[in-house]
A and B are shown apart, each in its own frame.
Chain A
């Protein structure tokens, strides 16, 4: 049986987020123990702890990397109602002559009066811009006017969504032609009400120069724990993966025959939202979702303790793999099983011991 590589994270409590930098060479983790840790990958592919510090006075929910163009910068957000910007600087060298790097807090964003649940840097083309959302349902946009001065993060916009927000994601626009406006999707994990929408689309309006909520996605009514836009990679539509009571993939398709160049920028760009895929295989709550670099395969984790992988094919999305949380990996499929499983689009790898009663029957 193949095993996944294991890292002892050395956090004293539950790890809430893992984030990779632009190149995938560095990794940051954050935890209930209020610490943030940074890991660097060596040539052999092993991850080594290079920094660890107490970042907040409450659980640290999320950590995210800025584009390396702005330096080695991460942002964190916490239950302690703040978000923080950290930059790695060169410290003193030790006896061996190796340089010590350490992280300093450049800014503390204290506008929220409740737990800050997510923080994400915007696409590089917008400059050094940061969005946060908080448990009181406010989405905030901060912008560093001077990329050299990470201490200044004036609050630029506030959008009140009026429901507890749990996660946000920027639409990773590459070109300004197709979608003139910046777009953020915000999710809510409010579980008191199962009829209201839990996914909101906010857009920046070039004319009024304001962010505003432009859309509520009615089809998602269960608490949303994580959302992420797929890297666009030239596709004619945008994919939004949602972790809610199931794995949901929404397709935002710009309406064709619409002249983006000559349209007035007030209304943003018109698009339709449809559900591209929906999977209940995690059986219960889905916690996190993540796309690969091309936005063609989605990974999700859920209450069944599995990481499941979903791939789009010409006509549909299908499950292409299941990894047990303990990293027991499937053996490469033997020829025998391949021939018998031909009718079954879903490949389910039985991975050693199954400790969960519900996970076997649901694929």
Chain B
């Protein structure tokens, strides 16, 4: 079955067709191995070095036997009879065929040690040898040419006459091909009396050993090596020559089905026995095995192969040969030119996809799908932001107010942002900090006037006396700085001890003792040391400062112990919330330094995409790059959209393409999750979509005029207000009863409901109107009007746009709970099933 070309003894490998865990290799000697599973003894892995040859991470091979007394081995095939011991038929360079059982000869195995006598007087090479896969007693040998001797011999090893211990050579059961050379041969599984043989470097024949004269199936080809017949489809024959792999169909042997040209010369081809149409091939001096997945179509199109390569042995050693496992799916054993073995599992191409509902599905093998969803525990380990967004959306995040939003998120930064916005609104509403219509939420930069590029208003310098010690500290004040302090929640009167102690008490209640302490220290109300110990104490503090873990304490000590005007240790103390640091800066830093500090920290936070920077930018246009940066790094489209929605005036948002694309992305995501109610609330909050123009009109069957007066009003914008009022008066007075069962123009009756047979717009369906005064009537008056003329949704018109039948909507939906077809006689319209999206409801 296997052919060895050239004179250099090469390594070959072959799985036993009988034993699932045994294989042989041969080269200079023949070895038999047994595969063992190493994962079972996983626990003792560390102590025991794995026995035998490691084939893969969980298999190893034990050498069972070696046979060195066979020289000039040209080809080997393993006896395929089930439940027999491994027995090899070995074809030699001198044409002899011997049998080898690695000395394990049993009683019923009498062939061991025998030689089949190619009775030629001159030795000629045995090129190929193959056991019959069905009639185990038949062994085919392909031999080199010698004068007029037959090149194919089939021996029946069970017929004793054929076995002749060296004395008199037996006669083959069948022979064929006088004076020719056989290069390779293979039996057909489905018709075990037929043998495919390649001869004389120019043809392939199918020979019926029952009657060799019937050999009509012949094709002329140079591809005569390595004939292999597919297990699944016995019509598929493959052979190779040089760079070509040629595929044949035994039914139409005249011309090749397809020729696959390879870049290097081919050294082996073998059909995968466990998979349809999969062919493995090996090229000389390559590190990969090529797999050809043959594709055939019903029509006459030439089949083609899906090519892929696999790299058993990590792709860094040249392979000598490989062998498919006869039964294990897609398993192959590869041997390198240096004899390294690799047990490899060829995975089927896996396709995968990820649904908008957070299902990941992939294929497993040929027939199975696997999937996981966000309900599975493992999904959480991917830290998929979309699941977080979904959870927040469910909890009405963004629809609620600032403080509520802060409670709904775990992320401290986002939480902080919402709390700050809440504070911002409080101080701006209270009029403590001025706002502009375009920037309803001013940031620190805005109030300090750093946005506009104009210089900050000059501040008043003040030297503050320490309470208990001699010495002063420079502080600065200006109205802009005061505003900034308000935005940092330091908006207390620093000269009023009551204010400060109120704040401190609050912080202490929140268990923020250190923050309280540092704030107190920064505000000079709590100097707890005496002047004479000052220098020593300072020294002590700066040393302990390094050991302090609490940033507030660290900053407080740094502040107390700093000798110069520099407050860098406080300003760069990242553990302190940004607002406290800014507040500190706006008290102690000079105008120039403050500007510099604010700009530096803004740039830094912007670069990080840190949302905290919103303290600085507020809702000024600067916030857009910040949000973009945050979005780019986190993908949190939700928080970005909601921040835009909540902080930026909607006129500005609508003008800005970038912000609209964020909002639309988020709306699209809510749509995909079928969170339509939440999206609708979001739309309302934003006025994200302009009210769509009316796209359905009801016109009277008789006069053709619009029967909905409201629609008329809408068209005549100027007259709207008055007419609406008029209609309303009529209905409220009840004197001029507004009957809606007939066309307002021609008084013809409206169509009847297909179910109750009453005219649509039935007056009796009216319920008492809610009192609405004319003043409350907004421009959005069509809603009010429909609310009056047809009182509730149940009595609204409803009809099928396909068959045009309809009725009261509640009657219709009742009907379709139990019926498929339209309630009108003879109408087979499946009105209710037509719209596929209606099968889903909002979540």
Contact = CB atoms under 8 A, between A and B. Distances in A.
Is A bound to B?
yes
Contacts of A191: 307
A35 to B, nearest CB: 12
A293 B664 contact: no
B295 A59 contact: yes
Nearest to B657: A177
Interface in A239-267: 261
Interface in B543-574: none
Contact of A357 (B344, B350, B361): B344
Contact of A79 (B295, B342, B834): B295
Nearest to A226: B351
Interface in A285-311: 285, 287-288, 290-297, 299-305, 307, 309, 311
Nearest to B839: A25
Given A18-B352, A80-B301, A234-B665, A45 B373 contact: yes
Contacts of B833: 90, 99
Interface in A71-119: 71-72, 78-81, 88, 90, 93, 97, 99, 115
Size class of the contact patch on chain A:
35 or more
Contacts of A314: 608-609, 633
A233 to B, nearest CB: 5
Interface string B809-843: 00000000000100000000010011011001000
B355 A294 contact: no
A338 to B, nearest CB: 11
Residue from B358, B633, B665, B834 whose CB has the most chain A CB atoms within 10 Å: B665
A213 interface: no
Contacts of B357: 20, 23-25, 41
Interface string A299-333: 11111110101011110000011010111011011
Interface string A330-350: 101100000000000001000
Interface stretch (B147-155, B362-370, B402-410): B362-370
A355 B57 CA distance: 7
Interface string A217-253: 0000000000000011111110000000000000000
A329 B376 contact: yes
A20 B369 contact: no
Residue from B298, B348, B369, B637 whose CB has the most chain A CB atoms within 10 Å: B369
B661 A177 contact: yes
Nearest to B835: A71
A24 B356 contact: yes
Contacts of B378: 2, 321, 323, 329-330, 332
Given A18-B353, A288-B350, A68 B371 contact: no
A301 B351 contact: yes
Contacts of A231: 665
B296 interface: yes
A227 B375 CA distance: 27
A287 B347 CA distance: 11
A57 B263 CA distance: 31
Contacts of A288: 350-353, 362
Given A80-B301, A178-B661, A327 B381 contact: no
Contacts of B389: 294
A287 B298 contact: no
B386 interface: yes
Main secondary structure of the interface of A (DSSP, over half): loop
Contacts of B314: 283, 357-358
Interface string B297-314: 111010010011111111
A4 interface: yes
Contacts of A177: 657-658, 660-661
Contacts of A360: 57
B366 A293 contact: no
Contacts of B633: 312-314
A58 B295 CA distance: 8
A206 to B, nearest CB: 17
Interface stretch (A6-14, A126-134, A139-147, A196-204): A6-14
Interface in B189-212: none
A158 interface: no
B311 A90 contact: no
A15 interface: yes
A188 interface: no
A159 interface: no
B660 A175 contact: yes
Contacts of B416: none
A235 B351 contact: no
Residue from A23, A72, A236, A293 whose CB has the most chain B CB atoms within 10 Å: A293
Contact of B384 (A47, A261, A292): A292
B709 interface: no
B315 interface: yes
A114 B347 CA distance: 27
A356 interface: yes
B310 A303 contact: yes
B528 interface: no
Contacts of B382: 297, 309, 311, 320-321
Contacts, number: 305
B442 to A, nearest CB: 25
Given A18-B362, A174-B668, A305-B345, A296 B384 contact: yes
B372 A233 contact: no
Contacts of A192: 263
Nearest to A70: B836
Residue from B376, B661, B830 whose CB has the most chain A CB atoms within 10 Å: B661
Contact of A14 (B56, B348, B658): B348
A333 B837 CA distance: 40
Interface in B672-722: 672-674
Given A320-B382, A332-B381, A4 B820 contact: no
A169 interface: no
Contact of A304 (B312, B342, B347, B359): B347
B360 A307 contact: yes
A9 B363 contact: yes
B643 to A, nearest CB: 12
B48 to A, nearest CB: 18
Interface in B289-333: 293, 295-299, 301, 304, 307-315
Given A295-B635, A296-B386, A314-B608, A357 B312 contact: yes
A54 B296 CA distance: 15
Nearest to B296: A58
Given A59-B295, A93-B820, A321-B381, A20 B368 contact: no
B482 interface: no
A293 B356 contact: yes
B352 A233 contact: no
Contact of A235 (B56, B276, B360, B631): B631
A325 B368 CA distance: 10
A177 B654 CA distance: 13
Contacts of B312: 357
Given A296-B635, A307-B362, A4 B371 contact: yes
Given A303-B347, A330-B378, 7 more contacts: A4-B372, A14-B366, A18-B369, A235-B632, A236-B631, A314-B609, A320-B383
Interface of B: 39, 55-58, 263, 276, 293, 295-299, 301, 304, 307-315, 342-345, 347-364, 366-373, 375-378, 380-386, 389, 608-609, 628, 631-635, 637, 640-641, 657-658, 660-662, 664-666, 668-669, 672-674, 820, 830, 833-834, 836-837, 840
What 5 A-B pairs have minimum CB-CB distances, sorted nearest first?
A24-B357, A24-B355, A58-B297, A20-B355, A177-B657
Interface of A: 2, 4-20, 22-25, 27, 29, 32, 41, 45, 47, 57-59, 68-69, 71-72, 78-81, 88, 90, 93, 97, 99, 115, 135, 174-175, 177-178, 191-192, 231-237, 261, 283-285, 287-288, 290-297, 299-305, 307, 309, 311-314, 320-321, 323, 325-327, 329-330, 332-333, 347, 353-360
16 contacts: A17-B351, A23-B357, A69-B837, A71-B836, A174-B664, A174-B668, A175-B660, A288-B353, A296-B386, A300-B352, A327-B364, A329-B376, A353-B58, A355-B56, A356-B344, A357-B344
